[in-house]
Amino acid sequence: MVQKLSNDDRQSLIDLANEARKKAYAPYSNYKVGAVLRTRSGRVYTGVNIENAAYPQTMCAERVAIFKAVSDGELEFDVISVVTDNGGSPCGGCRQVLSEFGMDTIVLIANGEGKLMKELTVKDLLPEAFTPNHLDNPKS
């Protein structure tokens, strides 16, 4: 079920992600990303990208926020806000991880000035996603 967001909710989530972005560890790309995930229970989790000299070990801000939520037992998400300088979209890996927890999660993409660039759902970002329903024993 897609949730309705007020303009104040949108801006608050964007502002929180933009603030979190300041803590990103991006010494190699200098492409700082902040994310804020709100769960259906109303809890909020922040994430930042964390780069590593061994590049494949880098972790995206979206997945950091998701993993923090899941580690606290949260499995149902309402909205995720992602902020970069230029309003970049979540990578394919993050889209796939988001799809694990619901195709109707709202995705807010904003730039470093706090301007909403796009609002869509995970389903919009990753049509034809491979989900647990494709497995012989999907999650319960």
- In tens, the pLDDT along 75-134 reads 999 999 999 999 999 999 999 999 999 999 999 999 999 999 999 999 999 999 998 888
**Residue from 62, 74, 113, 119 carrying the catalytic annotation:** 62
Is 34 within the bounds of a domain? yes
Which class for 117: exposed (0-12), middle (13-18), buried (19 or more C-beta within 10 A)? middle
The string of pLDDT tens digits covering residues 45-79 is 999 999 999 999 999 999 999 999 999 999 999 99
Per the model's pLDDT, the better-predicted residue between 135 and 118 turns out to be 118
2 found inside a domain: no
Residue for token pair 């706090």 = 114
Residue 2 has pLDDT above 60, yes or no: no
CATH number of the domain at 129, please: 3.40.140.10
84 with 112: CB under 8 angstroms? yes
Q: Are strands 106-110 and 116-121 parallel, antiparallel or unpaired?
A: antiparallel
Whole-number Å distance between alpha carbons of 12 and 30:
25
User: Would you place residue 140 in the very low, low, confident or very high pLDDT band (cuts 50, 70, 90)?
Assistant: low
Asked if residue 1 belongs to a domain, the reply is no
Contact yes or no for 140/31 (Cβ under 8 A): no
Query: Helix 61-71 to helix 92-100 angle, to the nearest 10 degrees?
Result: 20
Tell whether 139 is covered by a domain.
no
Residue range(s) defining the domain that contains residue 109: 7-134
Question: Which long-range CB contacts under 8 A does 68-71 form with residues at least 24 apart?
Answer: 68/37, 69/37, 69/39, 69/43, 69/45, 70/101
The reply to whether 78 falls in a domain is yes
Residue type at 17 in one-letter notation: A
Q: CB atoms < 10 A from the CB of 87, how many?
A: 16
19 is catalytic: no
